[in-house]
Structure 1
Amino acid sequence: MRGINPRIAVVIVYTAAMCMNGLDSTIVNPALLTIARDFGEPVSAANTVEVAFLVALAVALPVAGRLGDRFGTKRVFLAALAVFTAASAACGLAGGLPELVLARVVQGVAGGLLTPVGMTLLFRTFPPHERVKLSRVLIVPTALMPALGPPLGGFLTGHLSWHWLFFVNVPIGAAAVLLGAVGIHEQAEGAEGPFDLVGFLLATPALGLLTYALGFGPSHGWTSPAIAVSGALGLALLAAAVGHLLRATTPLLELKLLGDRVFASAAVLALVTSAGLMGVLFAFPLLCQAVLGASALDAGLSVFPEALGLMLASQAVDRLLPRLGPRLLAVPALVLATAVFAALAVPGVAENAWAVRALMFCVGLVLGTAVLTVQIAGFADVPPPAMGQAMGLFTIVRTLGGALGIAAVAAVIAAGGGSGPHGDAAPGPYRTAILTTAGLVALGTLFALRLPKEAPAPPPFEEEPEDASVTA
């Protein structure tokens, strides 16, 4: 097909794949009770459906950049997308919980490859000065889809069945693979040296164990044998992995990229903002349910205006970043986000539906502006050959940040005794947890001061673009 513009094809396929991946991180939550009942399992066992996905996703992240460099970003991305689509069908067809968990593991591994390799493909296609325009694309899968997940999951489960939570991926994934196969150019920078097997054997189980411990620690207890051993072993392996990766000639993850001031600041900002956002999206619906007696669907809908704010943020970044620069745009946005997060913890706010909607919209607007600014500015000076490594490292940090945020919030709630029945729990622990997320966002302001003042500029002499009619 000669009529397909490869740049447009990259954007469409990336957006479709990341929307599927983003939705699957949250869409199953409202259906866990229904899934447990259908399979005759306790609700606690159904949580393995989500934990299996997150652990598998974390395990796949370290090798994503290396695989993309060695075999080509197009080939790895489309292969991961095809596996993700097939695993989605297997999830929908599962006849028991073990089958569903196994299919979710496969889905998580593929999803762990999709995010960093897809971003690498996108950022190699568009030079730094053009990436500001991508904010409209980046905001949809990274922030809008996770926000849409809970209400969409509740709707599909209530009106069709939980199987459709996974079946919706199949036609989208199949169409995206076909379009990508004929419309995207291959981009292979080449991977020098042998595969870092030692780094793989250290980093991969370290991330998996830490994600497992963070996911189950708040509910099972941090001192329970499985959690304590997983956390301690994960930290030990992580320390050993960092030491090895800093010494290795061709490391699995190029930690030396953190020596770049802007990229390092962006990575830390990704960690704390992801922790704050995921933490507040976890704590506030619990406040609505445990204290106010709201239903799961109503609680999910209470945070939905955040998605609308995120959509507006994509428009704001597109227009403001070239004029103000990363630092002047991100710092005020994070200050405002801190104030909005703290306002959600004020007594009486959660009981006022319109106040909640307005504040959640502001969460999406101001924090979304900061997140998109950081994501664009952090990679401005990363050369194309290092983009795969940088994107893999950035995605790992952001993923662990989200897990840390949820774990911190859950720990604060548990420590405050916030475990009463619906409509009977004390609001104090939940409000303290929300204030904790405000503190995490405030911490990010210090690192935002290290971002550059000027937005990425076009090169002094731009080359003519390639003929868009040439296909891969």
Structure 2
Amino acid sequence: MLRVFQNPKVVVSVVFVAAMFMNILDTTIVNTAIPTIGAQFDATISSTGAVSSAYLVSIAVVIPASGWLGDRFGTRRIFLVALALFTTSSALCGLAGSLGQLVAFRVLQGVGGGMLTPVGMAMLFRVFPPEERIRASKILTIPTAAAPALGPVLGGVLVDGLSWHWAFIVNVPVGIAALAFGLRYLPDHDDSAAETGRFDVPGFLLAGAGLGALMFAITEGPSRGWGSAVIVGSGVAGVVLLVLLVRLELRVRFPMLDLRIFRDRLFRSSTLVVLPSSAGFLGLLYAFPLLQQEGLGRTATESGLLTFPEAIGVMAGSQVVSRIYRRFGPRRLMAGGATTVALMALVLSRFDGDTPAPLVVATMFVLGGGMSFVFIPSQSAVFANISPASTGQASGLFNALRQTGAAMGVAIMATVISVVGTSATGSPSSAGPGLDAYHAAFFTAAALMLVGAAMAWRIRDADAARTMAPPSSPHPTAPAPQAGD
């Protein structure tokens, strides 16, 4: 057993999966607990929304700096610091005695969570060479597929059976175990090849403020109203700051976000697939439980059990993708997977209370399987031609855009459900939106997935040749990045 832990690929995989599962699970569990938190602190819906938005905004602010921090101080050190911070702040959230304390501790938790994903992904793709990236991508599907589906079930059990405090405390034992394991076995990685230069203070301020403001507008828009002054102001400010960021970062030698990475055609194309696909998929996982609970009157546990086959589908599909990726390449697999998810979203738009449960389970399973054909090829190919020295920067960019896509998906679905639900009756109904509102959300998710499928056809399999080579063969020469192509 100890010899296994001497393999850096095994150790990085174990620590990364544990940390990411905890990080992603936290978001879905907390969403389940928010109504109970609001009731205990006698807070309004907009006030309790800060519990989620504070976390997401904090993540958006930190992600841009994660690549520089990992390259400057070492990915192992930063990852373990982030894991310790996330675990400690989870305990503090569970002990919070007021809504203000809880929001403050959620900001701290977001700082840790914002560093975990990009730094952990950089570690993962540095220990797995390009021809083994398909294996690394299979590892990534475990937390990204299982956690969103398991969260509502576990959240319902913890909140109903114990208290909302356990929605945060549940992270603590997992975090302590992962931290102890990482301190003992996680190897040091030589990050000396990455030139960091001085900390890009203007770039950090523009990126953090811009992404933070934009994320606030996206996450709070559905509840506060897209026409409200604070949302419009925040959104406009975010866009303006990000435009200034682009102009600045293209002029400095060591930028906070190295936007020159987008000159790599494969990185650019893969990111353009992931952005709408993440929005469509996470939007589906947001709207489906709402349909089951608010639209059809099922419990959180019942809703979670109907959602969970999606995770099984992703993990089952990953086994298929890993076997055929080298033969078919990312282009056709990603396009076919996104199209499959779009078709399943259209099937969901026909469901109601009389739909047999086995049909719901089968649809969610196929939906998850289709999404694995998007997840794994995109994660395998996106860094194919990125040098090890630039992997940290590329991971920060990729995760910032993926996080933005996920937030946009949830915001879009919430808005569609609200607008259609209101227009159907002429005013908001105390009974909640009708089924037409949820069906409209599924149509919207299908449209987003079809956009992702269209973007996938722009990918050139030849650009991903390094990831398609057999593990035992020499690396083929990677095509040179083609700027403006």
Q: Give the residue type in structure 2 aligned to 1:428.
A: D
| CA RMSD between the two structures | 2.0
- Residue in 2 aligned with 1:238? 242
* 1:85 pairs with one of 73, 84, 87: 87
1:296-318 CA distance string (max 9 Å, x none): 44333332211111111221222
Query: What is the deviation of 1:259?
Result: 1.3
Unaligned runs of at least 5 residues, structure 1: 463-472
The 3 A distance-change label for structure 1 pair 368 and 327 is: same
The one-letter amino acid of 2:455's match is F
What SS does the corresponding residue of 1:381 show, helix, strand or coil?
coil
How many angstroms does 1:163 deviate by? 1.8
Structure 2 unaligned residues grouped into runs of 5+: 423-427, 476-485
Per the TM alignment, residue 436 of structure 1 is displaced from its structure 2 partner at its CA by 0.9
Q: Paired residue for 1:256, among 257, 260, 269?
A: 260
CA distance in 2, matches of 1:2, 1:284: 43
Q: 1:334 aligns with which of 334, 338, 349?
A: 338
**Other-structure match for 2:456:** 448
TM-score by length of 1: 0.93
| Equivalent residue for 1:324, pick from 311, 325, 328 | 328
Deviation by residue 1:61-101 (Cα, 9 ceiling, x = unmatched): 10000100111100100010011111111111111211111
1:172 aligns with 2:181: no
Q: Give the Cα separation in 2 of the matches to 1:67 and 1:293.
A: 47
Quote the residue 1:98 is aligned against: 100
SS in 1 for 2:345: helix
Offset at residue 347 of structure 1 (A): 5.4
CA distance in 2, matches of 1:58, 1:331: 28
1:192 is paired with a residue whose SS is coil
Aligned position for 1:118: 120
Matching residue's letter, 2:30 = V
> Quick one: distance in 1 between partners of 2:153 and 2:309?
11
Alignment match of 1:420 (pick from 415, 429, 432): 429
How is 1:191-206 mapped onto 2 (pairs within 5 angstroms)? 191-206=195-210
1:183 deviation in Å? 1.4
Question: How much has 1:349 moved relative to structure 2?
Answer: 7.8
Question: Cα deviation per residue 1:311-337 (whole Å; 9 max; x = unaligned)?
Answer: 112212221212322123222222222
- The aligned amino acid for 1:420 is S
Q: CA deviation at 1:348?
A: 4.2
Q: 1:356 to 1:350 in 2, by over 3 A?
A: farther
2:399 paired with 1:401: no
- 1:207 and 2:215 correspond: no
CA distance 1:295–1:251, change in 2 (3 Å): same
CA shift digits 1:179-218 (9 cap, x unpaired):
2122122222343322111111111011111111111111
Deviates more, 1:31-40 or 1:374-383: 31-40
The alpha carbon displacement at 1:426 in A equals: 2.9
Question: 8 Å contact 2:46–2:223 — kept in the other structure?
Answer: no
- Aligned residue for 1:47, secondary structure, equals helix
Conserved? CA contact 1:9–1:184, under 8 Å:
yes
Q: Corresponding residue for 2:24? A: 22
Q: In 2 relative to 1, CA 65–443 (structure 1 residues): closer, same or farther, beyond 3 Å? A: same
CA contact (8 A) 1:135 1:317 kept: no
- Of the candidates 55, 58, 65, which is equivalent to residue 56 of structure 1? 58
Does the C-alpha gap of structure 1 residues 59 and 192 become closer, same or farther in structure 2, counting only changes over 3 Å?
closer
TM-score by length of 2: 0.90
Offset at residue 160 of structure 1 (A) = 2.1
| Residue in 1 that maps onto 2:130 | 128
Describe the superposition over 1:338-383 as per-residue Cα deviations: whole angstroms up to 9, x where unpaired. Answer: 1111111125487433222211111111012211111111111111
**Paired position in structure 2 for 1:439:** 447
Return the letter of the residue paired with 1:312: A
Moved over 4 A (4+): 347-350, 458-462
Equivalent AA in structure 1 for residue 169 of structure 2: F
Distance 1:243 1:349 in 2: 52
Distance 2:213 2:419 in 1: 23
Q: Is the 8 A contact 1:292 1:351 kept in 2?
A: no
Q: For the residues of structure 1 that align with 2:348 and 2:397, how far apart are their CA atoms?
A: 32
Distance 1:44 1:354, change over 3 A: farther
2:367 aligned with 1:363: yes
1:115 is aligned with what amino acid? T
Supply the AA of the counterpart residue of 1:330: M
Distance 1:411 1:2, change over 3 A: closer
Name the counterpart of 2:187. Answer: 185
Equivalent of residue 223 in structure 1, options 222, 227, 230: 227
Aligned pair in 2 of structure 1 residues 247, 347: CA closer, same or farther (>3 Å)?
same
The partner residue of 1:270 within 269, 274, 277 is 274
In the other structure, the counterpart of 1:429 is 437
Identity across aligned pairs (percent)? 44
Written as runs of structure 1 = structure 2, the 5 A alignment for 1:118-157 is 118-157=120-159
Preserved contact between residue 334 and residue 378 of structure 2 (Cα < 8 Å): yes
Alignment counterpart, residue 394 of structure 2, candidates 390, 395, 398: 390
The one-character-per-residue Cα deviations of 1:5-47 (angstroms, maximum 9, x if unpaired) are 1322111111111111111121111111222222333344222
Structure 2 CA distance, aligned partners of 1:363 and 1:461?
36
The amino acid of 1:259's aligned partner reads: R
Alpha carbons 1:380, 1:456 under 8 Å: kept: no
Q: Offset of 1:58 from its aligned partner? A: 1.0
The code of the aligned residue for 1:128 comes to: P
Report the AA paired with residue 456 of structure 1: M
Larger CA deviation: 169-178 vs 267-276: 169-178
**What is the CA–CA distance in structure 2 between the aligned matches of 1:166 and 1:104, rounded to whole Å?**
10
* Distance in structure 1 (CA, Å) of the matches to 2:391 and 2:280: 26
